[in-house]
Structure 1
């Protein structure tokens, strides 16, 4: 994930910054408690594609 791209992307739900989880290949929104997948190097920034974070995530 390009760090410059990460600086530009925000959660579509909360409009807050995201963090990159390299191991899971996801962009994480702690505020929304959602993780957006990265497929073939492209972040999928759709709420319908995001997975909810568990309490332990």
Structure 2
């Protein structure tokens, strides 16, 4: 399993609201700290498409 680099996490933002993204412990999802959308991480690659994001529950 690949891990997301700190450099990548420092520059990517939520494509919907441009908020900061936080990675979960398993590094399988990124959660926007502003709007709450949850983006999947597949094979170590963040899928930053609003259509692929899960709405906050």
- With the length of structure 1 as denominator, give the TM-score of the two structures: 0.85
Mean Cα deviation higher: 38-47 or 27-36:
27-36
- Secondary structure in 2 matching 1:6: helix
Aligned residues: 54
- Secondary structure in 1 matching 2:41: strand
- With the length of structure 2 as denominator, give the TM-score of the two structures: 0.85
Instruction: Give the structure, 1 or 2, with the largest relative contact order (CA under 8 Å, sep 6 or more).
Output: 2
Q: CA deviation at 1:24?
A: 5.9
- Secondary structure in 2 matching 1:10: coil
CA RMSD of aligned residues (A): 1.2
Map 1:27-46 onto structure 2 (within 5 A).
27-46=30-49
Q: Which has the higher strand share?
A: 1
* Runs of 5+ unmatched residues, structure 2: none
Q: 4+ residue stretches of structure 1 with deviation over 2 A?
A: none
Q: CA deviation at 1:2?
A: 0.5
* Runs of 5+ unmatched residues, structure 1: none
Q: What does residue 53 of structure 2 align with?
A: 50
